[in-house]
Amino acid sequence: MTAEECFHAIFERIHKLEPTINAYVTLIEEEALKKAKQIDRKVSEGKQVGKLAGVAVAVKDAICTQGIATTCSSRMLKDFVPPYDAEVIKRIKREDGVIIGKTNMDEFAMGSSTETSHFGPTHNPWDTSRVPGGSSGGSAACIATDEAVLALGTDTGGSIRCPASYCSVVGLKPTYGLVSRYGLIAYANSLEQIGPMAKDVYDCALFLSVIAGHDSKDGTSVKAAPKDYTGFLKDSVEGFRIGVPREFFGEGTSGAVEEQVWSGIHKLEELGATIEETSLPTLEHSLAAYYIVAMSEASSNLARYDGLRYGYRADKDEGDWATVYSRNRRIGFGAEVRRRIILGTYALSAGYYSKYYLKALKVRTLIRNNFDEAYKKYDVLVGPTMPFPPFKIGEKIEDPLALYMSDVDTVSANLAGLPAISVPCGFTDGLPVGMQILAPPLREDLTLQTAYAFEQNTAYRNRKPALE
């Protein structure tokens, strides 16, 4: 099959399924087909091609793409077309990967369900009445439906791993700083990380090999040598020491999810790993600390969007500066974004900074120290990605606290800057369940090897949603 034939097939599938799934907010079909022809020409002429030659890549709409609208699924940025590419986009293009479109997401990456998008919710391919997870729900859904081969997501508190679990694909949050954040529209700078999403662990490792690496334009970028992460994929966890924190199975965890995840853990034991239950007491405080830090950083980052310097400007310009400013933000931002800005501003205010924000930073340090102690004893830690299966669209959107609770098992990896991967580990009532594997900083090799060994000895990756 030529690249051009492959892309025609993918776009045909996109046009067929998008009315149901709504995974994309922008498609660039003409440009993608043009690049596919160029790659076919390079192949026919015997020229060297990149690692991603002819591969269709979907990009979360929070990552800047030159000449292609980048909206963060918000009215506030509905007309924004970046004049430059994010570093990860440059690296994909250098390896002949082809960007085919921008994927739907929770507005400004604030959510766990892809319901807060200005362009409407994305639907879960396994049950279209349910959410695909968030905020990278569009990226996960298009992988699960074969509307793309690879996808970029961003993970601030689980936004790659959550939809990977809910859509039964593989999603990796790399170590903080391993992948450049240059060109990522900021939500919470100290937490967020761009990462790969794919159909299986090999593709995820290959994609990480392309996008990872030091970037002088990103002050948080780690000076780590480039690696071929596919070289770490071994069908074995013989001798691995795996810890299972009890806190990952706390109150609110579905019994069906717990059963499937423990089944996956026992499979790792069958493959030669040593399994031991353990405790990380500080994880009980991770959700509260995360939301204070994330919302505080969001209130600072989003202050620039006022409709005067940046962002959506209401047609009506009557009134003083404060009136125009507040009208632009009230109309430009959705309810969840406004809620987080208000809460973050409150946490940073003069009377409450030390009571909330400073205390959250101290708890963050304790969580990191708790993980450091655990990794002296264990190679990886394993637990559920999400505490319950995908829920119905609209079920939790009016109850923010219930929605925030869905992040209880994922936010700790962001607070500590750890690599964490979600890999499919089963189904309950036809809905996917994901298993999360966490490793020490810069030990993506351990997360990928554990996930690969599990994947190769199970058949969950072969199961596809019935959408025909």
Catalytic positions, written as ranges: 60, 135, 159
Backbone phi, psi, residue 239, to 5°: 85, -5
3-class secondary structure, 267: helix
Give kind and range of the element (H or E) at residue 424: strand 420-428
Looking only at the bridges linking them, the beta strands covering 431-438 and 420-428 are antiparallel
Name the one residue in this structure whose structure tokens are 């069958």.
Answer: 270
For residue 87, the number of C-alpha atoms closer than 13 Å in the C-beta half-sphere is 21
116: Cβ–Cβ under 8 A, 6 or more apart, which residues?
Answer: 73, 106, 107, 110, 134, 334, 335, 336, 337, 397
444: Cβ–Cβ under 8 A, 6 or more apart, which residues?
Answer: 172, 174, 175, 178, 208, 212, 229, 232, 419
Write down the H helix ranges in 180-254. 201-211
Name the one residue in this structure whose structure tokens are 């250098």.
Answer: 94
Amino acid residing at 429: D
Please give the Cα distance from 346 to 118 (Å, whole number): 25
